[in-house]
Copies of this chain bind each other. A is one copy, B any other.
Amino acid sequence: MTTKNTTDTVTESTLFISSDNLLNTWLGHRRLTRRVIEAFPEDKLFNYSIGGMRTFSEMMKEIIDIGGPGIRGIATDNWENTGSLDKHTLNPEDSTKEGLLRLLDEGTAEIMEYWPQISEERFQEMTTVFGQYEGQVFSSILYFIDNEIHHRAQGTVYLRGLGIEPPAFWNRD
């Protein structure tokens, strides 16, 4: 695993980040995502938007639908019951700030449960996630995380539009 490079040029197998450290990075993002949801006034999660975009609760439902089910699918290679990524509708009983936070936490727990089952070889394999998106596993997972950062950032503009200071981007505790 730690074969030294004898030249000053990296090779294709040069480790950038380990599985453990990438998971920890993601969990830090999840803590920040949770704080951004918490910062919204409850009604604004469901009825505020800018420029015809979706509400922040709809964006966060997408993040919830991708993270836990995506890692479970990758770990088990079983994509039944992971849903599709075409629509992201909250059930009426989940349509509160508390409900949204609970779903996010359940997704985070699913990520933590299935992550340790993904091997180094699996991270590099080609796969098709959610039955439709082909790519190497690491690339799909980075897409999940990048998509979370992307929509969370959009939420921070909503917060500013509402006159609320967003949680600090650098704080992942």
Binding site for B on A (CB under 8 A): 1-5, 8-22, 25, 29, 50-53, 115-121, 123-124, 136, 138-139, 141-143, 146-147, 149-154, 156-163, 169-170
With beta carbons under 8 angstroms apart, the residue of B20, B150, B162, B163 that contacts A153 is: B150
Task: Knowing A25-B142, A138-B17, A149-B149 are in contact, say whether A51-B157 is a contact too (CB < 8 A).
Answer: yes
For A159, the chain B residues whose CB sits under 8 A away are: 51
Assuming A147-B169, A150-B169, is B16 touching A138 (CB within 8 A)?
Answer: yes
Complex: A4 Cα to B17 Cα, angstroms:
17
Instruction: Name A3's closest neighbour in chain B (CB-CB).
Output: B1
Q: Which residues of B contact A142 (CB under 8 A)?
A: 17, 25
Q: How many copies does the complex hold?
A: 2
Minimum C-beta distance from A56 to chain B (A): 11
- Residue among A16, A141, A158, A159 with max Cβ neighbours from chain B (10 Å): A16
Neighbouring B residues of A16 by C-beta, 8 Å: 16-19, 21-22, 120, 123, 138, 141
User: Please, how many angstroms separate the alpha-carbon atoms of A100 and B59 in the complex?
Assistant: 30
Given contacts A14-B20, A15-B123, A50-B157, 17 further A-B contacts (CB under 8 A): A2-B13, A4-B121, A5-B120, A12-B18, A12-B20, A13-B18, A14-B119, A14-B123, A16-B120, A16-B123, A17-B138, A21-B136, A21-B139, A25-B142, A51-B161, A150-B169, A157-B158
* Chain B residues in 8 Å Cβ range of A13: 1-2, 15, 18
**Beta-carbon contact of A14 and B8 below 8 Å:** no
Contact check, B161 vs A50: say whether CB atoms are below 8 A apart.
yes
